[in-house]
Every structure is written in C-alpha cells, then in structure tokens.
Amino acid sequence: MKLGIVGLPNVGKSTLFNAITQAGAESANYPFCTIDPNVGVVSVPDERLTKLAEIYTSKKIVPTAIEFYDIAGLVKGASKGEGLGNKFLSHIREVEAIVHVVRCFEDTNVVHVDGNINPLRDIETINLELIFSDIEMLERRLQKSAKAAKTDKSISFEVEVIKKVLEVLESGKSARTLDMSDEEKAVVRSFNLLSSKPIIYVANVSEGEVASDGEGNEYVATVREFASTEDAEVVVISAQIEEEISQLEDDEKLEFLRDIGLEKSGLDKLIQASYKLLGLMSFLTAGPMESRAWTIKNGTKAPVAGGKIHSDIERGFIRAEVIAFEDLMAHGGNMTSAKEKGLVRLEGKEYIMKDGDVVLFRFNV
C-alpha cells in the first residue's frame, strides 16, 4: 500500500513523515525542503502475530507494511509549473491514496506560506491543483477519443464519461465526489486521475489539543465539514507529539501515550483510517518458520488471497483450511481442540476471506 503525504509548505508534513517512518527526511522551517519524494516503509502493528508466533514457535514475525511517500509542498499554480511544478504532481499519480496534512494550529514561530491559518483555503489550493492537472489531461483525452468515436462506436461511452467528469472538475469539485456506475468507475480508473484518489485529511493540531481529538478547534471542525462532502477520512494528529513518540522505546511509548490521555498513536490512527478508506483487511499465516500478515481487499476470494503468497497457490488452489483468530485463541491456540469443536473449516474457491482468518492453503501444480 502506497500513501502519498501532501500539503502546503510548513504545515508539518515532513515532520509527520519523519516521525512515523523515522526515515530522517530533511525538515526545516522554510518551503521546499523536500525536493524528491522520500519513501519510508512502516510496519503495520498487529498483536495477533505475536500470539501466533508463540503458539507456532515461529522463528520470525513478518507484519504487512505501508509505504509513505513524502511529496514536496505544493503551492498555487503547481499545475502550471509554479513552485516545484508538475514533477511533483506526477509523484502523486504513483500512490494509491493521498494523505493531505492540513495545518490546524497557531504558531508565530512557524511561518505559513499564505501568511495566516485557513484550512479550507489550504485544502482548496491543493485540490484545485490536482483538478487543474486532471482537466488538462482529460481535455487531451477527449479530443483524441471524440475523433476515434466517429469510426468506433464502442468509444462513445468513454467520451460521455469524460464529459461527465470534466463538468464536475470545471465546477471546482474533485472527481472523487462524482456519483458513478460501476462501468463509469472502470473507465475513470483507467485515467488514473489525481482528484479521484481516495484521501485522508490529517488535521495537524498543537500538542495540547490531540487528546480531545481536536474537539473545540474551529480549524478541525472546518476540515471535518469539508471532508464530509467528499466522503473522506479525517485523522487528528500532532506532528510534534508523533516526533516525540518516535524517539521512545516500545514500552516507553505506551506509558507516554497514557500520560497524555491517548489510547493509540497518530500513526496507528492513520493506518486504521487507511485500511478503512481503501477497503483493506489482513489474513494470517503461521508456522515454525514465520507468522505473517497479508493485506487484501475486502471481498477477496480464497484463491486470490493465496495468490498474494505465491501465484502457484492461486493457480493450483484446492481448498483453504481456515479458522478465525478469535476462535483459535479461545482454545488456547490448540488447533486439535479447535478442530474437535468444528471451528476449523475447509473452504473452497468461492470462500470470501475475513479479517483475522488464520489460513493454510492446499494446492497442487
């Protein structure tokens, strides 16, 4: 899973990236300190793996991972080459979802590129640059497709979809707000539009406001109100606190979080929101060599899930031996006992995987 972190200069974007990935990207109180998209890989915390490793005496634990791309601060006019220009819009095109960091705190020591704090203006600045880039691309595509449709009627549907999307974009709204049929969605996916990518708005607040999840912060309220129009996720984070957490050992992190009234870190909240936004879940495999988590889309059938491990499993799938993680734990991790209770199931090709399934795939090639 690839997430691109975007935002105006000096909103805390690189500070957050550094904190959650500990990748050491340069961070400074001036615009454009990020020239290339830094990449950090973050393991997805999953306590279930630790318990499975104990049961199976696994030699190692392999969690699933998320790649975060720290993309340079965009400014008004980026789609026309202003600031660092189109190069960075192309970086956004490579990610599966956008994490848009929005400044929701006052600090006279950290300058804002537009002189004052206004989350709605900041969101619109970024979104409009993505929209302008999409309009430019779709207008070129429309010209080409309209010409081809004169001799190939099968392209007429694409032409109508392009016109429908352009109408929304030209009204200043992102493509993700458009209500489309499955057939229309398939056409739009082929365009890889920037403004159609799923988005999480990260409201970056001061250290004293994170425990209340930004309640009472008018800037956060503005972000939440706007996000509701796009059916987008909102996560309230203090980049400064995340930076402090990143310097601590695991046991110290839990104590620190409790001390400031938090149950989970901003990173954990961001991962949870990412999985929800992209419709993802994890199934688990375990054995003496490793206990491992695998990320798949909700609704994935067993053979396709097996293909995540190796293409041979999908190609030669016979059946899947499945038990829910909770059922296994309820029997103290004793598979024999769970089987006697009928909790271990043999599932075929049409079985739709569930989060937390512990699976052994049977296949033959």
Indicate the annotated binding residues for ATP.
Answer: 10-15
Residues of 258-296 as b/e, b for ≥16 C-beta within 10 angstroms? eeeebeebbbbbbbebbbebbebbbbbbbeeebbbbbbb
DSSP states of 163-198: HHHHHHHHTT--GGG----HHHHHHHHHHT-GGGS-
Bridge-based pairing of strands 38-43 and 97-103 is unpaired
How many residues does the structure list for the chain?
365
Q: Which two tokens stand for residue 229?
A: 């129009």
Name 135's Cβ contacts closer than 8 Å, sequence gap at least 6. 166, 169, 170
Residues of 324-341 as b/e, b for ≥16 C-beta within 10 angstroms? bbebbbebeeebeebeee
Q: Which two tokens stand for residue 343?
A: 């909790």
Count other Cβ atoms within 10 Å, centred on residue 169.
25
Q: Are 234 and 133 in contact (CB under 8 A)?
A: no
Q: Which two tokens stand for residue 86?
A: 């189109």
End-to-end CA distance of the chain: give it in Å, rounded.
29
> Helices (DSSP H) in the chain: which residue ranges?
13-21, 47-56, 86-93, 119-149, 156-170, 182-191, 218-229, 239-246, 250-259, 266-278, 302-309, 311-315, 325-330, 335-340
Amino acid (one-letter) located at 198: P
Q: Binding site membership: which residues?
A: 10-15
DSSP states of 89-100: HHHHHTSSEEEE
